[in-house]
């Protein structure tokens, strides 16, 4: 048993219980030894944006170190190719055929939806969320607090989160003013786009404020156990900043730093700087854990909510943000939904490991419940499978998905499934819900360049059954 020496006392304690299997014992944490959990989510970051996943131009040294000291997932998938439904899947463990919020235009989650924060709070965790909530439109300002978070600081509304220099942020349902001033043209907007806009006076860079609040939460709750959901709003673009007649730069920062003198378009200098900020914030979190001496009792996960964007005048190809994968944000091809995922837990996760285990956002709730020692009977029903055995180096105990599923209700509608080998995609489902299915053999053609549906009618029939079975009308 490779990892037995490194397992926490709370993981081993259950071994003395008669009739309890080894894996069951791994989910029985004692109240005093429950590990802290930090989930860091980037916004619109692509599979090719990190140097540990093949990025050639930009460096991400802190994330690379996180990969070197932990585990790198190569087949991990977001909940949807856009943010609101993807984050709903992350919070509830239900894929987009079952969850409440299935598009960026949908209303907020239902009161009866159970989130990972509620599960961990019930298990004795202090729960905090900093950054972009953005689940449903429009959510109430205190929606994160209503959904299980003791503390929230950031953007409740996804449109507000487009602005990196807003006039205010939200703290536990209340506006907290910043020193920025928004252009007049953006001040008289509907409530569902509260705070949206472009700043004419840029003083307070909100991502920095959010990152500091995350560090403060860690410091305040260092005696644990705590759960911090650090939900960035970068490298998403300020769509308003890049989409008006003046063609403003939608990748806004205070300055370009080391990229100032590069012979690049302004938005690309901004994107490079923003990616440096993403990496810096992750490094600050890991360093704070080390300084506090709690790194060995803290699991940190990092991923992104969907594929890379080409918005705010940023060009997807400039840094090859989707790497070898086809597609981007709003696609159900691999580039729209396959994401980097790193797991770091010194002394428990073996350093420098890599896994191709098929996993997704729907797995996070049940995985973290297992980490926290929540009994199976107290975990809500989800579409997920715990990947805790993979984290602990016990692949023989790892349950596997038959398939992962997405549906997306923009651009004519799309549905997709992936298995360990195949990707099946049905486009234009709004006009033709029974239309043709594209099929790609990911083992031979990871880039999805050749549709082999005609060559494998039996596979198409099987995966079409998954497409139809996974969707439940709301």
Q: Are the CB atoms for 92 and 99 separated by under 8 Å?
A: yes
Residues 352, 365: contact at Cβ < 8 Å? Answer: no
Q: What is the domain class of 34-402 according to CATH?
A: alpha beta
Q: Is the distance from CB of 339 to CB of 117 less than 8 angstroms?
A: no
Q: What is the pLDDT of residue 5?
A: 31
* Phi, psi (degrees; rounded to nearest 5) at 311: -130, 165
Domain boundaries, the chain: 34-402, 411-470
Q: Report residues of the chain scoring pLDDT below 50.
A: 1-28, 30-32
Phi first, then psi, for residue 295 (nearest 5°) are: -65, -30
Percent of the chain with pLDDT over 90: 86
CA distance 460 to 468: 12
Evaluate whether 407 touches 97 at the Cβ level (below 8 Å): yes
Burial of 338 (0-12, 13-18, 19+ CB in 10 A): buried
pLDDT at 248: 84
- Spatial distance between the Cα atoms of 161 and 164, rounded to a whole number of angstroms: 7
- Beta-sheet pairing, 226-231 with 126-132: parallel
The percent of residues above 70 in pLDDT, for the chain, comes to 92
CB atoms within 10 A of CB 56: 10
Residue whose C-alpha is closest to residue 459's, from 413, 415, 408, 425: 425
What's the pLDDT at 245?
52
Q: Decide: 71 and 391 in contact? Cβ < 8 Å.
A: yes
> What local confidence, expressed as pLDDT, does residue 243 receive?
63
Q: Domain 411-470, what architecture?
A: 2-Layer Sandwich (3.30)
Give the max Cα distance, the chain.
Answer: 70
pLDDT in tens, 432-448: 989 999 999 999 999 99
């Amino acid at each position: 048993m490779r990892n037995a020496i490194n397992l926490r006392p709370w993981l081993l304690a259950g071994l003395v219980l008669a009739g309890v299997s080894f894996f069951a014992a791994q989910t029985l944490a004692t109240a005093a030894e429950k590990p802290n959990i930090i989930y860091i989510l980037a916004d619109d970051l692509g599979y090719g944006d990190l140097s540990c996943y093949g990025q050639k131009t930009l460096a991400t040294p802190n994330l690379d170190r996180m990969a070197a000291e932990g585990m790198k997932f190569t087949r991990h998938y977001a909940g949807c190719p856009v943010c609101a439904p993807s984050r709903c899947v992350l919070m509830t463990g239900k894929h987009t055929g079952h969850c409440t919020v299935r598009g960026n235009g949908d209303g907020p989650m239902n009161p009866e939806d159970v989130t990972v924060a509620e599960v961990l709070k019930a298990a004795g965790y202090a729960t905090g969320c900093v950054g972009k909530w953005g689940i449903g439109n429009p959510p109430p300002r205190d929606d994160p607090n209503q959904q299980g978070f003791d503390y929230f600081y950031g953007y409740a509304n996804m449109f507000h989160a487009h602005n990196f220099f807003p006039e205010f942020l939200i703290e536990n349902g209340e506006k907290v003013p910043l020193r920025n001033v928004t252009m007049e043209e953006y001040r008289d907007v509907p409530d569902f786009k509260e705070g949206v806009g472009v700043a004419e006076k840029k003083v307070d860079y909100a991502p920095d404020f959010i990152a500091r609040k995350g560090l403060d939460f860690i410091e305040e709750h260092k005696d644990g156990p705590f759960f911090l959901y650090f939900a960035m709003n970068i490298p998403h673009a300020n769509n308003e900043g890049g989409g008006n007649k003046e063609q403003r730069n939608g990748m806004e920062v205070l300055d370009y730093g080391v990229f100032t003198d590069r012979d690049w378009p302004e938005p690309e200098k901004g994107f490079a700087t923003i990616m440096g900020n993403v990496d810096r914030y992750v490094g600050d979190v890991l360093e704070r854990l080390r300084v506090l001496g709690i790194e060995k009792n803290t699991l940190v996960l990092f991923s992104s909510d969907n594929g890379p964007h080409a918005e705010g005048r940023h060009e997807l190809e400039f840094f090859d943000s989707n790497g070898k994968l086809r597609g981007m944000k709003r696609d159900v091809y691999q580039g729209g939904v396959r994401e980097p995922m790193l797991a770091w837990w010194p002394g428990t996760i073996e350093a420098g490991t890599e896994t191709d285990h098929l996993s997704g956002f729907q797995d996070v709730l049940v995985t973290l419940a297992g980490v926290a020692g929540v009994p199976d009977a107290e975990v809500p029903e989800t579409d997920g499978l715990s990947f805790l055995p993979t984290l602990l180096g016990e692949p023989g105990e790892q349950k596997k998905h038959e398939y992962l599923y997405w549906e997306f209700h923009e651009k004519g509608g799309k549905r997709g499934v992936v298995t360990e080998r195949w990707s099946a995609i049905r486009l234009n489902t709004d006009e033709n819900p029974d239309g043709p299915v594209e099929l790609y053999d990911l083992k031979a053609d990871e880039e999805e360049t050749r549709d082999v549906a005609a060559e494998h009618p039996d596979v198409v029939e099987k995966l079409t059954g998954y497409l139809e079975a996974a969707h439940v009308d709301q």
